[in-house]
Amino acid sequence: MLVVGAGLSGLIAARELQKNGISTAIVDKGPSVGGRLATRRIAGGVADHGAQFFTARTNIFKAEIDEWLSEDLVRIWGYGWSDGSLKRTVSDGHPRYVTNGGMNKLAKHLAKDIQDLEVDVRVTDISWIEDHWQVKANNHAAFHSQVLLMTPPVPQSLELLSKVTLAPEDRSALQRIQYGPCICGIHVIDGEVTLPEPGAVQNFVEPVYWIANNKAKGITDRTILTAHASSNWSRSHFDMPDEEILTFLHEAIKPYLGANATIAEDQIKRWRYSVPLITHPRDTLIARGLPLVFAGDAFGGRGRIEGAYMSGLEAAKSIMEIFA
Ligand SMILES: Cc1cc2nc3c(=O)[nH]c(=O)nc-3n(C[C@H](O)[C@H](O)[C@H](O)COP(=O)(O)OP(=O)(O)OC[C@H]3O[C@@H](n4cnc5c(N)ncnc54)[C@H](O)[C@@H]3O)c2cc1C
């Protein structure tokens, strides 16, 4: 069994498969695990520049979060965000969870218990040869596997599977899935910031819909803001030069800088696939006529971290039921 992608869905699937005695390898193209659970080091501090927090609606995910809380891996950051009009956020009663030390720590924690995990392995070519998958990677490695689980964002998975004949219904269901891009600014601030408690604003009508203080979030001692531009703005400005993007992001964060605060340093990250906008209704897609399963946050209609988690879990269950 081979899992492509060690983001949350791939890690959860690999963990469950291995726990149940299914021999499973997992590879990721990144230098580290986590995918969009991304935390960056900057100016002696850290900032989450992918997923910012997570919520839970299903009892299954809530039960896992309870474990993570007891291990001091995650904690509650707050119960809602101001849209920028209030100094203090009014609670909506739903906990927003963050990972201590940054979101990527959650992925690293899960990866600790997973065997046969390789990073820096970019899959470049996938073929179905008679009775097994042959998966080639940039490091000249070739993996042979009976069953394949694909967890990259679906357009990337489809590109990797371009040589494989998928049933037309499956191909069109997968092609319907869409993600929004996100241009993210990471801004190191000298001085005070005035974001409403607990330290973030979220306002989906604004072209920069999310501004958060990683220090207030409790993951770093340095004041570092993360700013996310909306999908619409990011799509139409994706190739804009960095300098112009920074000018735009600086205007958005300016109202939240204290009187003497200055921006010491910034970085930009462009996410081509940030969150799914059109999802597949089921938690996974099991290809017709091939031992091939697709999973990730775009499956199950939930999106986001909880969607990735539930999809990974369901993928492992289906693989054990159908193929093991
Ligand atoms: C800017 C941004 C903000 C977000 N905010 C939130 C939020 O506040 N709350 C929330 O719940 N969710 C948020 N999300 C979404 C959340 O991060 C995702 O839903 C979740 O992390 C997706 O996990 P996944 O396993 O489905 O996919 P991914 O994390 O994308 O994992 C896929 C993995 O596949 C790997 N891969 C891709 N191609 C290859 C290849 N060719 N070879 C090998 N490996 C490959 C990638 O490196 C990656 O690690 C945000 C995401 C972004 C980008």
Q: How many residues does the chain have?
A: 324
Under 8 Å CB-to-CB from 140, ≥6 apart: which residues?
A: none
Average pLDDT over residues 30-53: 98
Q: How far is CA 62 from CA 108, 159, 297, 317, in A?
A: 20, 34, 17, 19
* Better-predicted residue by pLDDT, 38 or 82: 38
Under 8 Å CB-to-CB from 168, ≥6 apart: which residues?
A: none
Assess whether pLDDT exceeds 90 at residue 153: yes
Rounded Cα distance, 2 and 167, in Å: 21
Under 8 Å CB-to-CB from 108, ≥6 apart: which residues?
A: 32, 33, 34
Q: What is the pLDDT of residues 284-297, one digit of tens each?
A: 999 999 999 999 99
Assess whether pLDDT exceeds 80 at residue 311: yes
Average pLDDT of the chain, as a whole number: 96
Assess whether pLDDT exceeds 80 at residue 86: no
Query: What is residue 140's predicted lDDT score, i.e. its pLDDT?
Result: 79
Query: What is residue 22's predicted lDDT score, i.e. its pLDDT?
Result: 96
Ligand 1 close to Cβ of residue 117 (< 6 A): no
Average pLDDT over residues 176-205: 97
Task: Kindly tell me the burial class for residue 261, based on how many C-beta atoms sit within 10 Å of its own C-beta (0-12, 13-18, 19 or more).
Answer: middle
Indicate the angle between helix axes 104-111 and 8-19, nearest 10 degrees. Answer: 20
Task: Kindly tell me the burial class for residue 67, based on how many C-beta atoms sit within 10 Å of its own C-beta (0-12, 13-18, 19 or more).
Answer: exposed
Average pLDDT over residues 237-254: 98
Decide if 125 contacts 136 (C-beta within 8 A): yes
Assess whether pLDDT exceeds 80 at residue 90: no
Ligand 1 centre distance from Cα of residue 189 (Å): 27
Query: What is residue 254's predicted lDDT score, i.e. its pLDDT?
Result: 97
Architecture of domain 1-31+119-177+279-324: 3-Layer(bba) Sandwich (3.50)
Query: What is residue 55's predicted lDDT score, i.e. its pLDDT?
Result: 97
Rounded Cα distance, 235 and 40, in Å: 23
Instruction: Report the nearest-CA residue for atom 2 of ligand 1.
Output: 50
- Report the percent of the chain where pLDDT is more than 90: 94
Architecture of domain 38-103+178-278: Alpha-Beta Complex (3.90)
Assess whether pLDDT exceeds 80 at residue 98: yes
pLDDT tier at 91, thresholds 50, 70, 90: confident
Instruction: Report the nearest-CA residue for atom 4 of ligand 1.
Output: 51
Pocket test of ligand 1: the residue of 81, 270, 275 to mutate, having most ligand atoms within 8 Å of its CB, is: 275
Ligand 1 close to Cβ of residue 53 (< 6 A): yes
Can you give the residue ranges of every domain in the chain? 1-31+119-177+279-324, 38-103+178-278
Instruction: Report the nearest-CA residue for atom 44 of ligand 1.
Output: 28
Instruction: Report the nearest-CA residue for atom 35 of ligand 1.
Output: 5
pLDDT tier at 139, thresholds 50, 70, 90: confident
Average pLDDT over residues 8-31: 98
Least confident segment among 89-103, 114-128, 238-252: 89-103
pLDDT tier at 77, thresholds 50, 70, 90: very high
* Better-predicted residue by pLDDT, 140 or 87: 140
Ligand 1 centre distance from Cα of residue 324 (Å): 27
Ligand 1 centre distance from Cα of residue 38 (Å): 8
User: If you search the block for the tokens 């193209």, which residue do you land on?
Assistant: 29
Query: What is residue 227's predicted lDDT score, i.e. its pLDDT?
Result: 98
- Bridge pairing between strands 132-137 and 142-145: antiparallel
| Cα-to-chain-centroid distance, residue 193 | 27
Q: Across the strands, what pairs with 47?
A: 40
